Chains A and B, each alone.
Chain A
Amino acid sequence: MSIDQATIDAHGFSPEEYQRLLEILGREPTITELGIFSVMWSEHCSYKSSRLHLRRFPTDGPRVVQGPGENAGAVDIGDGITAVFKIESHNHPSFIEPYQGAATGVGGIIRDIFTMGARPIALLNSLRFGEIDNPATRRLVDGVVAGIAGYGNSIGIPTVGGEIAFEPAYAGNPLVNVFCLGVAKADALAMGVASGAGNPVYYVGAKTGRDGIHGATMASAEFDEHSADKRPAVQVGDPFMEKLLLEACLEVMRTDALVGIQDMGAAGLTCSTSEMGARGDAGIEIDVALVPQRETGMTPYEIMLSESQERMLLVAQRGREAEVEQVFEKWDLHAVRIGEVTGDGLLRIRDQGQVVAEIPNRPLADRAPLYDRPTTRPAYLDDANHLDLATLSPPADPRRIWLDLLGTPAVASKRWVYRQYDHMVRTNTVVLPGMGAGVVRVKGTERALVFSLDGNGRHCFLDPAEGGRLAVAEAARNVACAGAVPIGATNCLNFGNPERSEIMWQFSQAVDGIAEACRALDVPITGGNVSLYNETDGQAIYPTPVLGVVGVLDDVTHVLTRVFPEPDLEIVLLGEPAGGLGGSEYLKQAHSLVRGTPAPVDLDRERALQALLVDAARGRWIRSAHDGSDGGLAVTLAECCVESGAVGAQVDLPGSVEMDERFGVVQALFGEAPSRVVVSVATGQRERLLSGARERSIPAVVIGRTGGDRIRLAVAGEQVADIGLDEAEQVWGQGLTRHFEAVASKEA
């Protein structure tokens, strides 16, 4: 049967792409082949709009064990152990069905990690929603948080932190990015590769259903008839099944009877078979009739494109089938042999013996479309970058603004969220959520892994290149604030429609910024994810790259958190006192403006600062360290006091010659700038810290002392604001909770 033009169009092929398909096959495709090409060449699987740009990332370094291209990246952390990590988005599914969308996102990223042979030990997430007082937001937040909790808690991997922000730009397109970290013995990494003709190909895990088949609009007659109306749009997660898969897969990897393994994520069987074959330069032949199915009457097309969750594809050594099967039996799973590796380089799909697709593997992967899409600097920037303080009135009462900022969702305690996550299971969580970067010890060593996710859509909206640099710098700085050396990165690039040149410009700029900062700070990108088309009715999200940086703390007892540990310690500001107001939380909160340009990062200074922090932690010169971020130093200092066990502070912030006459105090209190950290100094260690800073040309000044039951702030000797610790705890503690608990009590 010939494929008609409507079917080709419905599968999203451009005429050039279809021509290329014909060249590769040398004939017309079957409907199954069309489906396979369609998903493999989709934006999601082929990265056709972004691949060209992603090449600019630094991906190599002495510690990199596995760069991009595998299921996850890996870096060497010493003692013969590698850290395996990756971030991924599940934005679109989470908008349609928040609980399952988020849950299956967590399930997917966990599979990516254990597929590499690593035991997953920690999860983080980065979430973006519309304005918090929008009722639709609350429903989404409730569902997404419950979905992340439902999956992570059940499978027993702690969710140890993350970030959450609320901006109108995300109202129609929330972002759900999830990060997973695992550890593996350096010599035990598994790969998603199929090789060795005659080796058996196994299918393990949940049965295949019609869930998550993309392009449900496909318009072939046989399609409508059989299934078009039956396809549920959302996949459903089963963390229990995944727990069994996790344990069984890790156990089977220890037998060395395994050649390769890959999870069936996006594009399910299609992606796993063709990618494993392409990596191993081999062919794979399977019979879809052997695939365990939970629905009747599924076509080969549907089986190949299903995105049912919790499924794995394995290639085992021929002759060792029994060993592999026994391990899965122990876990009440059945490894089903569905085919074998071949030497002909073809992806051959049979249905009860009859060939329904036969595609050369390498060209399917290697000749995927690649676009250099046009870029244009967006017109909005000229206006948005223009910030004229003369048109604004400085606040009459800085204290009021300070409290407002402490209670704003971006700043306030995220306890309402993280207490729903089991963040302590596996007994490695050294730093509880909300106290700084995620820190998990690595049992059997003295070390800990430290990691942080950061990204600021407002910054990227105003200057995507700078926003990219700032995101890398902040994530790495958060890792360094815990005392760890940043050694690797992953990123999730969330943008709008790449076919719009303004969006593509944002993307390209952000990539440039990220690449530059990763190079400067020595954190190669080892993998990640791109999520495009995050827009509704032509309204794109803020360009939002989320950076995950992973670091190593050689001695876990050196770990630092944000809080002042006790009274009577000197407080030192590392970095420039003056901050900018462009794109700041202050401007949003006090003037409802997203304007200006974010203060730029000096990457040499940043690198030096992070090195100083690591030395200061190692030398025990400092007792706490907290990155100055949203809300400026006033907020940073308050964050050093809340949850500290009632340690207040008295601080005098230096004035600056660059201070605006009217906004000087505001800039000192609420201005934002990178490369700034507030530390409390160990008794008797001030001079070592200050001379360490001098050697690295980092401004450092004693700004006050810890203690008392208030937080008192002066600027250039003049007292400007003062709040009681109780009030600060109350406002900060309730800032997020009050929006959600109010709803809960109404429902109850």
Chain B
Amino acid sequence: MKFAVIEFPGSNCDHDAYHATKHVLGQQAEFVWHKETDLRGADVVVLPGGFSYGDYLRTGAIARFSPVMGRVCEFAHAGGPVIGICNGFQVLLEVGLLKGALLRNNRLKFLCEHIHVRVEQTDTPFTSGAVAGQVLTLPIAHGEGNFYASPETLAALEANRQVVFRYCAEDGAQSDAANPNGSAHAIAGVCNVGRNVVGLMPHPERACESMLGSADGRVVLESVISTLAATGAA
């Protein structure tokens, strides 16, 4: 199984995604520089977190124009599994592969801590190994993770079961207190209609070794490995 980790200038979780896929999960992984247009035969594309292009304009707004993004879109449209984490999620929203927007956290400050999310859908390549309703402890680290969409879009996301992860308390219950950034419908992650493109604010790649406080993120990356193995794609 081969993961392509896309590197934008300013990506800073690229090494984390690389480490998790290659050294923790024992898969092949390669960095793909944003100026390239070849995904090098990757089976999975990871858009890592960071501050692409410094995010001086609007988070993810310039990264979408990188040469590599054209290839990533083709890959996604052909059904290839793509995951965008944190800043990578923002890039997926900007490029239109996912619906919605991310605003500044409702309390206006950057937040880094372990939170809980509930797995809402298990028919995506990144959640197939999880149980519906399973609660994961994952780190967040963002200043702009407040998911926003118009009422129509929110309704459509819900109706099409595109909300993949929702913030919750340790026991899975939803409450304002358990929603760290004010996201609409406590949305932490969504997928596209085709379900092969998933974006989320929490960092599963930072939660793959119990030494670091949680290994709950493994299920996200392991899911895609077994999904592809099952379909014989790699």
Contact = CB atoms under 8 A, between A and B. Distances in A.
Contacts of B33: 330
Interface stretch (B106-114, B119-127, B148-156, B222-230): B106-114
B205 interface: yes
Interface string A395-421: 000000000000000000000001111
Interface string A83-121: 000000000000000000000000000000000000000
Interface string A135-169: 00000000000100110011110000000000000
B112 A238 contact: no
A556 B211 CA distance: 9
A147 to B, nearest CB: 12
Contacts of B110: 146, 149-150, 153, 420-422
B220 to A, nearest CB: 15
A371 interface: no
A150 B51 CA distance: 11
Interface string B201-234: 0010110110111000000000000000000000
A427 interface: yes
Interface in B79-110: 107-110
Contacts of A424: 112, 139, 141, 203, 206, 212-213
Nearest to A240: B54
Given A239-B51, A427-B206, A244 B12 contact: no
A669 B193 CA distance: 62
Interface residues of B, number: 35
Interface in B1-49: 9-10, 12-13, 15-16, 19-20, 23, 33, 49
Interface string A412-440: 00000011111111110110100000000
Interface string B167-191: 0000000000000000000000000
Nearest to B141: A422
B75 interface: no
A432 to B, nearest CB: 6
A422 B20 contact: no
A55 interface: no
Contacts of B141: 153, 422, 424-425
A242 to B, nearest CB: 10
Contacts of A155: 12
Contact of B111 (A419, A429, A432): A419
B129 interface: no
Given A419-B111, A425-B16, A156 B50 contact: yes
Nearest to A238: B54
A276 to B, nearest CB: 28
Given A156-B12, A243-B10, A331-B9, A429 B212 contact: yes
A744 interface: yes
Interface in A422-476: 422-427, 429-430, 432, 441, 443
A386 B19 CA distance: 58
A372 interface: no
Given A427-B206, A744-B107, A419 B112 contact: yes
Given A419-B113, A420-B111, A425 B53 contact: no
A602 interface: no
Contact of B16 (A154, A240, A331, A427): A427
A427 B54 contact: no
A243 B111 contact: no
A332 interface: yes
Q: Which of B10, B112, B206 has the most CB of A within 10 A?
A: B112
A425 B109 contact: no
B199 to A, nearest CB: 19
A427 B205 contact: yes
Nearest to B112: A422
Q: Which of B19, B53, B109, B203 has the most CB of A within 10 A?
A: B109
Contacts of A429: 212
Nearest to B113: A419
A468 B206 CA distance: 39
A424 B203 CA distance: 10
Q: Which of A241, A427, A744 has the most CB of B within 10 A?
A: A427
Contacts of A556: 211
Contacts of A241: 54
A67 to B, nearest CB: 30
A437 to B, nearest CB: 16
Nearest to B9: A244
B15 A426 contact: yes
Interface string A371-384: 00000000000000
Contact of A240 (B15, B49, B51): B51
Nearest to B111: A419
A209 to B, nearest CB: 17
Nearest to B205: A427
Nearest to B209: A427
A453 to B, nearest CB: 19
A155 B55 CA distance: 12
A350 B135 CA distance: 66
Interface string A239-265: 111011000000000000000000000
B10 A432 contact: no
B55 to A, nearest CB: 8
A154 B54 contact: yes
Nearest to A432: B213
A420 B112 contact: yes
Interface string A713-746: 0000000000000000000000000000000100
13 contacts: A150-B110, A154-B54, A155-B12, A240-B9, A241-B54, A243-B9, A419-B112, A424-B139, A425-B12, A425-B16, A425-B49, A427-B19, A427-B209
Q: Which 10 A-B pairs have the closest CB atoms?
A: A156-B12, A240-B54, A422-B141, A154-B51, A427-B16, A422-B112, A420-B110, A424-B139, A419-B113, A149-B110
Interface of A: 146, 149-150, 153-156, 238-241, 243-244, 330-332, 418-427, 429-430, 432, 441, 443, 556-557, 744
Given A150-B110, A426-B16, 17 more contacts: A153-B110, A153-B112, A154-B12, A239-B54, A243-B12, A243-B51, A332-B9, A419-B109, A419-B111, A419-B113, A424-B112, A424-B139, A425-B13, A425-B16, A427-B16, A427-B20, A443-B23
